[in-house]
Structure formats: C-alpha cells, structure tokens
Homo-oligomer: A and B are copies of this chain.
C-alpha cells in the first residue's frame, strides 16, 4: 500500500490537462491541495494501527492486504466495514472523504462486466480485462474517481433523440485496438486529484442506444481528456489555523474524440447492462452515503451543540429538540445503511423479475434500504442548515476577519465583543465561529449542500428506485384480505 507522500509524488508526475480560470494548471496547484490532503487521509488511516482494521481488506484476487477503497465486497462484513470506515474518516476531513466514487464504480463494473460477458457468450472479455485492471489498481493502491453524470442536453429526450448526440457520452468509432468516445461528464468530484477515472453510463438505455452503453477506465491525465475545474475550499487562513483545511474540486471531464484501448473497456454496446451499471453504481454510492451523511451529521451536531454551549442555551427545550432532530436524521440514515449491509447479497433488482443473482458473487447492499436512507438524508440537507442557522443566530454570517483580530486598533475590542462564553477561552470561541462559518456561510458550504442533495442521485431518483422495486402488490393483498376482496395473486412476503 502507498503512503500519502507517494500519492502526492504520483500527482506531480501526471501530465497537465487541468484548466482553471482560463489557465492550465498542475496537480500541485495550491487550489487543489485541500482536496489532495483529503485523499491523503485515506492512506494515513490505512497505515494507522488504530484504523487499519476498518481501512484495509484482503484482496480476493491476490490475497494481499489492500486499501479498502480498492476492494470488491466479498461479504456482509465488507459492506458493514465500508459503511463504518466512511463514518470514521469523514469527520476528520469534512463532508467528503473523496475516494468512495472509485470503489463504488469498481464494484459496479466488477459485476456488470461479468454479466455482460455471459450474455455475449464468450465473444467479449470485459471481466478478464477488468480484473487485470483491478489487480494493478489494488497493487499500486490507486485513487479512483467515477465519471457518471452526463450533460443531458434536453432533459425530456432520451440520449438517441438528442439534437446533439454528445449530450450523453458515447462511442463514435470502434477500431481494432479500441474505441473512440465523445462527450462530457460533469460534476466529477475529486477527478483532478485521482489516478484513474472510471466512466459509466448515467441512465437506463434502449436497444437503439447501444453506443451509449459504454464503460471504461482511463488514467486521469489520459491523452485527449480535458478537465475544467471548479474548486471549493475552506477560506484561506493565514493567522488563525484550523486543525484541517477541507476542500473538494469538481471537474467537467471532456472527452473530445478520445481513444480507449480495448483492455480498458468493460462494457460496449450491451444496453441492458448499461442501465444496470448506472443503477448499480448509484446503489453502491447511496450505500456509501449511509456512512458519510451520518458522519456529516456528527459534525453538524458537534457544531450545533458547541454553538448552543457558547451561546449559553444548551438546555433550552427548543434547542434540545433541534439537536435531537439532527441525531434522528443521522442515525436513521445509518440504520438504513446498516440494514442494507446486513441484508446484502450477490443479487440485483431486475424490472419485471425482482431480485436475481448477479455478478461473480460479490456483495451488493439491499437496494430498498440503501435508497430510503439516502433519500432521507438528501431531503434533510436544507433543514439541517436551517437548524444550524437557528441555533447560531447571525454571528457566523458577519464574523470579523482574522486580520481584524490582529489589528491593535480593533483586536482587543473584537475579542471583548465576540466573547459569549465565560468558560471557553476567547481564542477557541473565535476558532469555533470561523469554522462554523466555513460549514454554513461560504461558497463551500453552499456547494456542499448541492452535493449532499444531488450526489448519488437526487431524492427523486431514490424515490423512483424505491417505488419501482418495492413489492407493492404484497401490500395491496394485505388490504384486500382485510376488506374481504378476492386476492388474485398469492400474497408474497417482502
């Protein structure tokens, strides 16, 4: 396994294909450092005896010890550990640990490539190629990113109906040694500080949309790929330092006729499995959210309860009620993920067929529970922010800048007038409110809300998954039985 130092060195060696504010920048640019430090934490935690057990796993390919962020889930226990690792690491760095997208995508591709080969009856070698790619990925402890969301063009038209076919990334040419693809994936978080980008479809596809059913992996600086960045960083501090400076960075990842060699292609034309691949990545990712959203809930609760302490109102009934609400959301989200892990199986939901075995035996979390959990936590984002706003009052929004505390003309006066608690040293109160502002009153916090609402699929996407996969007929039959109505189909238990 790599050290964080080796990870940073790897970043520096990559070719430059990043664009920011009109300029091409290198991967050691200052604006990327916070995001890279987040990723670095995943190497440190795997090396730390205190967290090693959660953060490493044994490769089912090589039997070697690997970073859990490169692992294919082999059991219910792996699913539990994935959730708990996420909940452990996220609060150390901020709202996102950055390396889930990769492990979620590779778990999806592992199963999908296997099944696509089955359908093709030996005419393709997607799974073999994938495993070869995976072995290298695990051995070199690489950081993966997942590029799923297409630009989508006209939202009510399907990919093949778009005036611009590139609204969804697709194959424009198949060659002897590979394929050529065109399109753009957007909102691709941490892609600029990752080693590999796994590209998967974004939606279900029809028979006519085989060209859009394409999945592959490329190095993040692959020839022809351009990334246009939008970084989100905690406000730069020069005098009053934080314990950790969080940041993340989004990319428009543009594929302008990019060549992908066959050994890196894991799906190409199998439209049904394209749709399952989209769903399956989403499912693994929603399961990841059952770790990170409760972890974010831990931070929000810490922020709200410390704000209440400093404001001198920790025992006010309406404050306690609001704090309880934060706990409820976090722990219901966790419980949903826990149950999704515990009921996990090598199965996937197929429309019209229900749950069926899928893939080479790797474990997939239960879809209903992964979805209800993600839906709840997604829907709660703005209410959580409202609670923080209510408990804090206006102070995080108008708090003075660090330099004004250092200015002799204003510093002591500001210390006097920002002091609320007589028990906590004023410098800690200042540090606290400045961090609170980072989490609630900044470009970063606003972007975090948007990610927390839409990442892994907006709540409406989870509702669609829930509604279409749930055994509603069983519930209708329960009612029919009680009403004295005839029951046409046998009542099944969920």
Docked pose: A107 CA to B463 CA in angstroms: 38
Partner of A442, one of B325, B386, B406, B446: B446
Q: Once the chains bind, are B369 and A401 in contact (CB under 8 Å)?
A: no
Contacts of A420 in B (CB 8 A): 151-155
Measured between beta carbons, the chain B residues less than 8 angstroms from A443 are 441-443, 446
- In contact, B382 and A386 (Cβ under 8 angstroms): yes
**Residue A163 CB within 8 A of the other chain:** yes
Q: Which residue of B lies closest to A329 (CB)?
A: B372
- Identify the stretch in A123-131, A336-344, A354-362 within 8 Å (CB) of chain B at 4 or more residues: A336-344
A223 to B: closest C-beta gap in Å:
15
How many residues of A are counted as interface, with CB atoms below 8 angstroms from the partner's CB atoms? 144
Residues of chain B contacted by A303 (CB below 8 angstroms): 479
Contact A299 B389 (CB under 8 A): no
Checking B166, B241, B299, B381 against A478 with a beta-carbon cut-off of 8 angstroms, the contacting residue is B299
Kindly identify, within residues 167 to 216 of chain A, every residue whose CB is under 8 Å from any CB belonging to chain B: 184, 186-187
Per-position binary interface string of chain A over residues 77-96, scored 1 when its CB falls under 8 Å from any chain B CB and 0 otherwise: 00000000000100110100
Question: Would you call A394 an interface residue if the criterion is a C-beta within 8 Å of the partner chain's C-beta atoms?
Answer: yes
Interface pick from A56-64, A133-141, A271-279, A309-317: A309-317
* Stretch in A40-48, A97-105, A451-459 with 4+ CB within 8 Å of B: A451-459
Find out whether the CB atom of A475 lies under 8 angstroms from the CB atom of B305.
yes
Is A6 at the interface (CB under 8 A from chain B)? no
Distance in Å from the Cβ of A207 to the closest Cβ of chain B? Answer: 23
Q: Is the CB of A432 closer than 8 A to any CB of chain B?
A: yes
Q: Does A119 contact B (CB under 8 A)?
A: no
Stretch at the interface among A16-24, A262-270, A280-288, A345-353: A16-24
Among candidates B166, B338, B376, B409, residue contacting A226 with C-beta atoms closer than 8 Å: B409
Cα of A184 to Cα of B250 in the assembled complex, Å: 41
Which residues 207-251 of A have a CB within 8 angstroms of B? 226, 228, 230, 240-244, 246, 250
Q: A186-B417, A394-B450, A440-B450 provided; 8 other pairs, C-beta below 8 A?
A: A187-B398, A243-B480, A256-B413, A298-B475, A321-B460, A323-B467, A428-B486, A446-B446
